Amino acid sequence: MNNAALALIALLLTGAAVDPEPRGPSGLPPWTAVDTDDQPSTDPHRVRLVEGLAARSHQYLVQHQNRDGSFSLPRHQAGRSAPVAVTSLAALSFLAAGHLPDPDRSIYGRSVSRSIDWLVDRCNEEGYFYYDGDKVSRMHGQGYAVLALTQAYGAAVHDPLKHERLRDAIGRGVALIESTQGALGGWYYEPRSMEAHEGSITVCMLQALRAAKEAGFTVDTAVIERAEKYMWRSQDVQTGRFRYAINIDQTSWSLTAAALSTLNALGDYGSEPLERGFEALQRDDPFTGRGHFEEFLDYGALYASQAYWHYRSPKVFDAWWDEYTRACAERQREDGSFHEGVYGSVYSTAIVSLSLQVPLGYLPLFQR
């Protein structure tokens, strides 16, 4: 365990306050100490711990932003570079801390503004977010890009030109997602309608469409309904877990978390199948020691934090959040980064810091 992690855990246990720089735009976020049956019994010191972890991550990310405004996997590993997806996740993490895409506000405002501009420039005439040589982002990147732009859209009203460019890119991005849905209601890796389908990509498409609809864009409700049915058909009724794809036996904790958070976003917070899924999420959770750590855990934690946050029992969220923030504090490196063996530090730092900020209340996507 590194010295920074030890210090942060000590602060959490002793109740001392972490005072990260920069602070959020309004001091402590809405997620503050309450103790009622319908709100999380959260502690301001825990909020400050999360803000400290995120602030250190953002310092690292700013230092590793590419000259063109993008973020990516190591460029020397061209076959694994995913600038569309990673840039989107980094922009979302900055936005989740309250950093608006305004180059005149701060170094973080400039960073997120450059990221958003880069994403808009990557949206081609068909509405596909693509960068030459990016063989990894594909439709995952499409979903994350639309998601990031919808979260920045409302904050760009001060700049009519940027606002209009965002509107155009989001509209074309949504249209491409709608037109590439497969016959069973899911999506696959390529930007076209295919017989193949996959659950983690379908989750990304659904969350992007939901965010676009909330931002005021027209979204075909029939597309969402078909995709929602796809998600339910991918559940293993015996275990409650969700499969990699319909008619595929493979299930995972990460896919279960992703499915639950997406179904919450579509308005289901307490159906019987959803409850079975949440029981499976808790039963197999690696952060509480009940389940084993698996591949793509950072992806799973992003959605698990949303699923726990929206669960009907705030006490369940509190218990899980203690374990997750503690694990992140132990894992964060001295330079503020998080490292993941397959995809490297920039990706992991972006997605982990985004996951940590789910309860902070700044990002419309995460608000209850």
What is the Cα–Cα distance from 207 to 261, expressed in whole angstroms? 9
What is the Cα–Cα distance from 48 to 366, expressed in whole angstroms? 18
Residue 298 — very low, low, confident or very high, per pLDDT cuts 50/70/90? very high
Residues 338, 56: contact at Cβ < 8 Å? no
Q: Which helix (H) or strand (E) holds 61?
A: helix 44-63
Q: What is the pLDDT of residue 343?
A: 77
Rounded to an integer, what is the distance from CA 74 to the centroid of its chain?
21
Collapsing DSSP to helix, strand or coil, 365 comes out as helix
Residue 368 — very low, low, confident or very high, per pLDDT cuts 50/70/90? confident
**Of 343 and 219, which is predicted with more confidence?**
219
Collapsing DSSP to helix, strand or coil, 250 comes out as coil
Residues above pLDDT 90, as percent of the chain: 73
Residues 187, 201: contact at Cβ < 8 Å? yes
Residues above pLDDT 70, as percent of the chain: 86
What is the Cα–Cα distance from 155 to 166, expressed in whole angstroms? 11
Two structure tokens written together for 199: 């659950």
What is the Cα–Cα distance from 352 to 305, expressed in whole angstroms? 10
74 prior amide bond cis, ω within 30: no
Encode pLDDT of 162-190 as tens digits.
999 999 999 999 999 999 999 999 999 99
Collapsing DSSP to helix, strand or coil, 31 comes out as coil
Name the one residue in this structure whose structure tokens are 């639950």.
Answer: 260
**Of 218 and 160, which is predicted with more confidence?**
218
Nearest to 199 by CA among 172, 222, 239, 232: 232
Of 86-95, 108-117, 285-294, minimum mean pLDDT range: 285-294
Cβ burial, residue 238 (10 Å; 0-12/13-18/19+)? exposed
pLDDT of 23 strictly over 50: no
Residue 209 — very low, low, confident or very high, per pLDDT cuts 50/70/90? very high
Q: What is the pLDDT of residue 22?
A: 39
pLDDT of 79 strictly over 90: no
DSSP H stretches of helix in the chain: 3-14, 44-63, 83-96, 107-121, 138-153, 160-179, 199-214, 221-233, 253-265, 272-283, 297-309, 314-331, 344-356
What is the Cα–Cα distance from 349 to 360, expressed in whole angstroms? 17
Domains and CATH numbers, the chain: 3-366 (1.50.10.20)
